[in-house]
Chain A
């Protein structure tokens, strides 16, 4: 089974260029037009898969707290 690894500097540079300057007609351009913030994807790709997961845990915990506060107030 293959392993999901962090991007190499070369892979990251190519991905960044593709995401920040989408080619006309590409899926990336379609995503930008759909409203996806491609700078967030670049930020994520700079992290290792482990760092992405830890960031998700922090974000989801924080947002759940906010949702809990909102529920209690409503």
Chain B
């Protein structure tokens, strides 16, 4: 995974997005390793065009399908710069507009962009309900408690 390259590309293309998932957890202090970049994007036509144009040079293709199949724009992509999950809505939080209410700015990889705040990230993980999301909760709740003291 090359989150640095992916995030720089998205920022430089003026894509409206919020970083969610494991990379967001890392910004907050999680020690878990993640292998994909999850973002929630604004579903405007302009933003969709920017998003598609930004990722096009990195040969996005549906994850888990043979590379020779015709390209289909899916929310889970494998690209030359790593796996990227694109979500228009996040369970427990809502759309990009809703996420903006629960986001903070982070400076990383020589860019600045939005990521979920820690309480919202915990809410999203809990709402997602998958084993891998639920198993991240003890660590994230510890970080929240340690920061609140």
Q: Which residues of A contact B (CB under 8 A)?
A: 1-4, 7, 11, 14-15, 17-19, 26-28, 30-31, 34, 36-38, 40-41, 43-45, 49-50, 52-54, 56-57, 59-61, 63-64
User: B residues bordering A, Cβ < 8 Å?
Assistant: 1-4, 23, 26-31, 33-35, 100, 103-109, 114-115, 117, 138-139, 141-147, 149
- In the bound complex, residues from chain A placing their C-beta under 8 Å from that of B26 are 44, 52-53, 56
Chain A residues within an 8 Å CB radius of B115? 4
Q: A residues within 8 A CB of B139?
A: 31, 36, 41
Cβ–Cβ contact B146 & A50, under 8 A: no
B147 touches A15 (CB 8 A): yes
Residues of A within 8 A of B147 (CB): 7, 11, 15
Assess the A56–B33 pair: CB atoms within 8 A.
yes
B33 touches A3 (CB 8 A): no
Q: Within the complex, which residue of B100, B107, B141 is in contact with A31, where a contact is CB–CB below 8 Å?
A: B141
15 additional A-B pairs beyond A4-B27, A4-B104, beta carbons within 8 Å, are A1-B105, A2-B104, A3-B107, A4-B28, A18-B145, A27-B144, A28-B142, A31-B139, A31-B141, A41-B146, A49-B108, A52-B26, A54-B109, A57-B2, A61-B2
